[in-house]
Each structure stands twice: as C-alpha cells, then as structure tokens.
Structure 1
Amino acid sequence: MKSINLQRTESLLMELIPEALSNLSDAKINSLPITGVNCKNGKYDAIVYFDGSDYDKNEIKEIISSLNKANGRLKTHILASTGWYKCPNFTFVNDTSLEKSKHIEDLFAQIRKTKSSEE
C-alpha cells in the first residue's frame, strides 16, 4: 500500500508531465499520452508510462531516446511548478497494458462469435 503523499506525488506528476511535454518542440513527444506514473524510493525515482500503441518498435526506441534527452527540461518545469527541492529521476516505459486489454477483448469477441455460430 502506498502512502497518501506518494499517491499525491504520482497524481501531480500525471498532470505536470504532459503539460511539460506539450511545451517541447518535438512533435512525437509533445502530445504523447501519459498513462501512469509509479514513484519508487520516495520521490527519487519515477517510472513514467506512455501509450506507444500507435508506433512500431523502432519509433518507440526513438521516443524513449527523445524523452530521455528532454528529461532535464521536464524536471525544470516540474520544479518550477511545484516548488519542490528535488525532482524524481524519470524512466520512460511503453505501456503495453492497453494492447493486452484490447487483445483480451478481441479474444472474448471471437469466443462470442464462435458460440453464436455453434447455436
């Protein structure tokens, strides 16, 4: 169970990271959907999940590279917005849970179709 302060931090980062990304000039990352933030070690590390379902593996690598390059600007924006003394180190990860849930929905649709054709 996470502390309320840690949950509050994650929630605030969920708002501030897309805002910071939107100020960047890179078209691939400035409108990238952020799907989750998971803080580790207090506020010192944060895993930032993004929806990369519209991109192939090479594009995902480019996006992660661009996000890592923009890390400093993101931190500066977040520190300015929050007044925090220290900003977490961000690790960016492609969130594949959306693809998995769509795949499961497709499987259920196939099962329904198969059952209705058997009847």
Structure 2
Amino acid sequence: MNEAQIKLKRTEALLAELIPEALSQLNDNRLHELGVIEVKCSRGRSDAKVYIDPSNFTEEEKRAYLKQLRKARPLVEDFCLKDQGWYRCPKLAFEFDEQLKKSQNIEDLFKKIAKEKTGDES
C-alpha cells in the first residue's frame, strides 16, 4: 500500500465513524437508527459513497430515507468538516447496500443446484 492508499483508507474509516455520529445529532429520529456499513471514497477524496444497512426496509421506506439523507447531507458534511478541521469534506452520496441480499440469493441458487444434483443422482 502506498501513502495515497493509506490516506484514502484513513479518510474512509474516519467518515464511517463520523457519519453515524452526525446522523444521531439530527432532529429526525428516523435517521438515528440507520447503520453505516461502509464508506468508499473516490481516488481524489472529493466524493464518497456511504453504504447504509437496508435491514428489512421496504422500497418505499428506502426512498423516504434516501430523500431525508439527501436533505441532511450538507449538515453531515459540515459536522465532518468541523470535527476534523478539514479544508473540505467529500461530497457524500447515500445508498442502501444490497450486496448482502445479492450474496444470499446466490447462496440460495447454489443450494437449489446442489439439491437438484442430489435429486438427479438418487
């Protein structure tokens, strides 16, 4: 790992800690319960994707949460700036992490294939 990669990982780790803290200080109680799974910064650290735990929300609830998060984005960025004393904060983009759901679907497919294979051999 070179120095730029280390700085990038450090920024991602800091944002993963600061964003939930910033969300917990907002007036909207619904945002307090959201969990940040991961933060991925662009190479120049000007943008960052924040992956939120979907934890069984419906599609309608997810849309409502994303709308609230877009409104709260400037406040969260300002919190990060003040807390860390940064000159600028990455522009945050929030989205729900669907990787767990996709991996579960793939595992279910593998189980189904294995079941069909054992059924054919019997």
Q: What range is the shorter-chain TM-score in?
A: 0.7 to 0.9
What is the RMSD computed on CA atoms of the aligned residues?
2.0
1:78 offset after TM fit, Å? 0.8
1:91 alignment partner, SS class: strand
Q: Distance in 2 between matches of 1:61 and 1:87?
A: 25
- Of 58, 63, 76 in structure 1, the residue corresponding to residue 78 of structure 2 is 76
- 2:46 is matched with 44
Segment drifting more, 66-75 vs 20-29: 20-29
C-alpha contact (below 8 Å) 1:53/1:96 kept by paired residues = no
- 1:9 is matched with 11
- 2:106 is matched with 104
- Where does the alignment leave 5 or more consecutive residues of structure 2 unmatched? none
Q: Distance in 1 between matches of 2:21 and 2:114?
A: 41
Q: Distance in 2 between matches of 1:106 and 1:24?
A: 39
Q: Distance in 1 between matches of 2:118 and 2:35?
A: 37
Where is the helix percentage greater, Structure 1 or Structure 2? 2
C-alpha contact (below 8 Å) 2:8/2:43 kept by paired residues = no
Counterpart residue type for residue 31 of structure 2: I
Whose radius of gyration is greater, 1 or 2? 2
- Where does the alignment leave 5 or more consecutive residues of structure 1 unmatched? none
- 1:35 is matched with 37
Q: Distance in 1 between matches of 2:78 and 2:14?
A: 15
- 1:24 is matched with 26
Segment drifting more, 21-30 vs 31-40: 21-30
1:105 offset after TM fit, Å? 2.5
Equivalent residues, number: 119
Q: Deviations over 1:1-54 (max 9, x none)?
A: 861111110111111111111222323321211111111151211111112241
Percent of pairs with identical residues: 43
